Amino acid sequence: MRRFAKRVVVGSARFLARQRGRFPGWLNRAIDWVRWRLPSSWVGALTGRGGGGVGRKDWEYPEVHVRPPVPTAPRRLFVGPANFAGQGMAWTRAVERTLPDVRGVCFALEITGGFSFPDDFHVPPLVYRRNRRWQAEQFAYVKEFSHVLIEAGRPLFADLFRLDPFREARVLEAAGVRVAMISHGSDSRIPSRHAARFPWSPYRDRDWVEVPRLEAQATRMVQRLRAFTGPVFVSTPDLLDDLPFGLWCPVVVDPEVWRSEAPVLERDVPVVVHAPSNPRVKGSAAVDAALEPLHEKGLVEYRRIGRVPAEEMPALYADADIVLEQFRLGSYGVAACEAMAAGRVVVGNVTPTVRQRVKVRTGLDVPIVQAEPAEIGAVVERLVAERDEARAAARAGVEYVHRVHDGTYSAGVLRPFLEVDADV
C-alpha cells in the first residue's frame, strides 16, 4: 500500500511539473517559493529522487564568498546574471577594451547541464537561492559599482528582494548606482505577436506546452520594461518588434578566436553544418528534411551537430563550408556571428524588417544568405552550384562581424549609459 501511495504522489508531482508551462506566472512563482523552502529530503521524496539529500554544506562553503575585487576605475560596470552564450562576459570585456575609464565584472548563475561560457565569477542555484549570507554579501558588493546591467529580467540577489529585478533596480538606484536592463530573447518576445506575424513561427506549434508560460512572462516583462525609467537594451534587432523603445546592443564575438584560413567551397562535396542550441526555434526539423536528401544524393556532406563544448565550436566551423543557422525566429544571433567570423557561408531566415533595421543603424547589409524553412534545400543547392556568390557572402560575413559584432559597436551603444551617473 505504501509503495502504491508513493507511486501516486510521485506521479502526480511529475505530472504537475510537466504542466507548469500552462500555469499562470503567479502560480509558478508560488510553486518556486515553496519548493526552495521545503527540506531537500521532501523534494527528493516528492520527485522520486531521494537519496543522500542536500544539506547546508552544499550551499555554504568558503569558496562561494570569494568575489573578484571591485574595480577602482571611475566607471565600474557589473553585468549579470544570465551570461547567455557568454554575452554578459563579452559585453563586459568590450566596454573595457573600448572605453578607457570603465572596468567591469560579469557574474553568472551556473546552470547545471548548460553550455559552459567564461565569466568572472558564478555560483550554483543552491547557493543563489538558499544562502542568505551570500545574497546579502552580493548586494553589498554590487552597491560598490557605479553601473549595473541586468540581463533577461533575472534577479541578481535571488530572494533578497523577492526575485524581482525591478525592485533590485530601485534599491540600487537609491544607493547611487545607475541601472539598465538588457533583453536576450524569450524574456520579452511575445509569442502571440510573433505567431501572428510569421507563418513559420515556432510559437504556432500546438505541442509546445511552454508557450502559455512564455506568453505570460514576456507580456509582463514588456509592460515592466516600458515603465522602467532606465535604459533598455536588446541583444538582437528582432526584439525591437516588442520593445520599440529599446536600443540594439549587438551580440559580441572575438573574431580572432573564430578566424580560419581554411578555404570555402573548394571541395567537390561541400560540408554543411547545423549545430542548433534549441532545435525547435532553430527550425532543425526543416533543416534535416531539406539536407538529408541532398546528403543521400552526394551533393553535400550534412553534419547535424548535437551538444558540444563551446571551446570545440571554432574547429567545427572551420571544417565547414556552409553553416545553417536559424529559420523560425526571423533574426540572427551569436552562432551566425561565430560562423561568419570563421569565414563560412551562413544561411538563415532574417526578415526584411530586421535587415532594414541593421542597415539603418550600421550602413551595412546583413550578409546572411536568405532562406525561409521551405527554401532551405533549394538555397543550398544554388550555393553549391554558384560558388562565387557563396564565397562573396563568406567574405562579406568576415567584414560584417569586424564592424558590427567585435564589441566596438556594442560598447558605443552602451557608452551614453555609462557616461551618466545615477540620480540619487
User: DSSP character for 279?
Assistant: H
- Among 37-51, 134-148, 158-172, the range scoring the smallest mean pLDDT is 37-51
Domain boundaries, the chain: 2-50, 68-252+411-418, 256-406
* 101-134 confidence digits (pLDDT tens): 999 999 999 987 666 789 999 999 999 999 999 9
- The answer to whether residues 366 and 354 touch, using CB atoms and an 8 Å cutoff, is yes
Whole-Å CA distances, 109 to 133, 222, 244: 16, 23, 29
Question: Which top CATH class is 256-406?
Answer: alpha beta
* 191-214 confidence digits (pLDDT tens): 999 999 999 999 999 999 999 999
CATH topology assigned to domain 68-252+411-418: Rossmann fold (3.40.50)
Q: CA 71 to CA 147: how far, in whole Å? A: 12
- The answer to whether residues 320 and 273 touch, using CB atoms and an 8 Å cutoff, is yes
Percent of the chain at pLDDT exceeding 90: 81
Q: What is the pTM of this model?
A: 0.88
Residue-wise burial string across 69-106, b where 16 or more C-beta atoms lie within 10 A, e elsewhere: eebeeebbbbbbbbbbbbbbbbbbbbbbebbeebbbbb
* 297-344 confidence digits (pLDDT tens): 999 999 999 888 889 999 999 999 999 999 999 999 999 999 999 999
Q: State the residue for C-alpha cell 543563489.
A: 128
Contacts of 87 (CB under 8 A, 6+ apart): 151, 184, 235, 251, 252, 334
pLDDT value of position 45: 47
* 381-391 confidence digits (pLDDT tens): 999 999 999 99
Decide if 68-252+411-418 and 256-406 have a common fold: yes
